[in-house]
Amino acid sequence: MNYEFFLAKRIIGSKAYKSSVSAPIIKIGIAAIAIGIVVMMVAIATGIGLQQKIRDKVVAFNGHVTITNYDSNNSQESIFPISKKQEFYPEFKGVSGVKHVQAVASKFGVIRTETDFEAAYLKGVGADYDWEYFQEFLVEGKLPDYTKERNEDVLISQYLANRLGFKINDGFQMVFPKEDAEKLPNIISYHIVGIYNSGFQELDAQYLIGDIRHMQRINKWDADQIGNFEVFIDDYNELPTKGIEIYRATPSILNTQTITEKYASVFEWINIFDKNIYGIIGIMILIAGINMITALLVLILERTQMIGILKALGSNNWSIRKLFLYNASYLIILGLFWGNLIGLSLLFAQKYLKLFPLDPSVYYVTEAPVYISFSYIIALNVGTLLLCLLMLLVPSFIITKISPVKAMRFE
């Protein structure tokens, strides 16, 4: 054990080691571990962050599950009304894990100004509407209040406001055409009280938020008739199961659709991020492992005489192999330390300083979002350490093939 301690001290901390020919190789191995951790952390943080941001934006406009009438209407417009007198409204007691249910209705119209016009859907909401998501999206003004008398206040997207030159407190007319083209359209004058920006340009370009009572009046619906229900659940990961449970708990005349079904192309696209993350992790660990294998082999060759001396003094192969594995563990941990320091610094800088913007027309977000959780950081570090050590077991086997006599003559 004294000889093993002596060798470990020589390998890890001696001036001879630090100035040896293996030093550049060791530094490359440490750098490979550090760079690998940085790349893996950034890939996981941005991949999961982008998935969650896009998912939350879609949920904000649709809920996790929408309940509608069975009809052939594939547009965003509410044509056939549903009565609010349902067992699942206002509280969905038949399914656990349902957080909120709200009644909405959408109507296609044309925003008209003196010089321009723009087609959009006015989404009518009422006193039961949950503004949690739009509170985060709000960039100017305030959220409208529909808990009292019917009013003409609307929340408009920054995208539409910029296209039409609108500002807070501006007014405009919105024309709602009728099915019979010969009849005069409905025209409502609206007042802008708030401007939002979800970053999801495809949805921002479509929706204004207004009072649902206008939709009921235009469509000649009763006060208890709405276009559809939006259901929010506590845990998105349970959406497939809760979607089925909600479908079974609703009347047969109503249909349900999850957001993953409604926006299948969007969710198929963001699910590809998982494959990219796994691929990056696999490649980075492989590269880091190969660099550490190279460093360990160089170290073994450099210490061949010492290995021979230890064998001649009675040390077994496994005890000598452990010394080199201990040394490799130290080098890996050193690389992990620097990798975590650099990686976390980059992630926190992006989270709070928004250093890297993205094109919202392509990525549905205005900047690269990051998801920081110590659970995946710890798992990533422990996994990298263990996998690299497992990979080093094979090259350390070369120690068993070293003959004490030949090793002590090795130059």
pLDDT at residue number 146: 93
**pLDDT tens digits, residue range 251-280?**
888 989 999 998 888 888 888 888 888 888
Residue 77 has pLDDT above 90, yes or no: no
Total length of the chain: 411
Beta strands in 28-180 (DSSP E): 65-69, 82-83, 98-112, 117-125, 138-141, 153-157, 171-176
Instruction: Specify whether 241 is located in the same domain as 332.
Output: no
Instruction: Kindly state whether residue 257 falls inside one of the protein's structural domains.
Output: no
Find the mean pLDDT for residues 128-140. Answer: 92
Rg (CA), the chain: 32
Instruction: Specify whether 89 is located in the same domain as 147.
Output: yes
Alpha-carbon distance of 191 to 199, in angstroms, equals: 23
Instruction: Kindly state whether residue 63 falls inside one of the protein's structural domains.
Output: no
Q: If you average pLDDT over every residue of the chain, what do you get? A: 84
Instruction: Specify whether 236 is located in the same domain as 89.
Output: yes
**pLDDT tens digits, residue range 331-388?**
889 999 999 999 999 999 998 888 888 877 777 777 888 999 889 999 999 998 888 8
Instruction: Specify whether 278 is located in the same domain as 231.
Output: no
Structure tokens at 84: 């609010």
Structure tokens at 269: 């696209």
Q: Which of these three, 192, 225, 252, is where a domain ends?
A: 252
Band of the pLDDT at 12, cuts 50, 70, 90? very low
Find the mean pLDDT for residues 10-36. Answer: 67
Question: DSSP for 85-99?
Answer: --TTSS--TTSTTEE
Alpha-carbon distance of 259 to 242, in angstroms, equals: 12
Instruction: Specify whether 21 is located in the same domain as 132.
Output: no
Instruction: Specify whether 221 is located in the same domain as 165.
Output: yes
Q: Judge contact between 11 and 299, C-beta under 8 A.
A: yes
Find the mean pLDDT for residues 225-237. Answer: 92
Neighbours of 62 (CB within 10 A): 21
The single residue listed with the structure tokens 């708990």 is 249
Give the chain's largest Cα–Cα span. Answer: 105
Band of the pLDDT at 8, cuts 50, 70, 90? very low
Q: How many domains does the chain have?
A: 2
Instruction: Specify whether 205 is located in the same domain as 314.
Output: no
Domain holding 381, by residue range, is: 2-56+267-408
Neighbours of 3 (CB within 10 A): 16
Lowest mean pLDDT among 165-169, 237-241, 351-355: 351-355
Backbone dihedral region for residue 78 (phi beyond 0: left; psi -120 to 50: alpha; all else: beta): beta
Residue 74 has pLDDT above 80, yes or no: no
Band of the pLDDT at 406, cuts 50, 70, 90? low
Instruction: Kindly state whether residue 84 falls inside one of the protein's structural domains.
Output: yes
Neighbours of 201 (CB within 10 A): 20
Q: Which of these three, 228, 252, 276, is where a domain ends?
A: 252
Instruction: Kindly state whether residue 61 falls inside one of the protein's structural domains.
Output: no
pLDDT at residue number 13: 47
Structure tokens at 37: 């951790």
Instruction: Kindly state whether residue 258 falls inside one of the protein's structural domains.
Output: no
Instruction: Specify whether 29 is located in the same domain as 175.
Output: no
Find the mean pLDDT for residues 179-207. Answer: 85
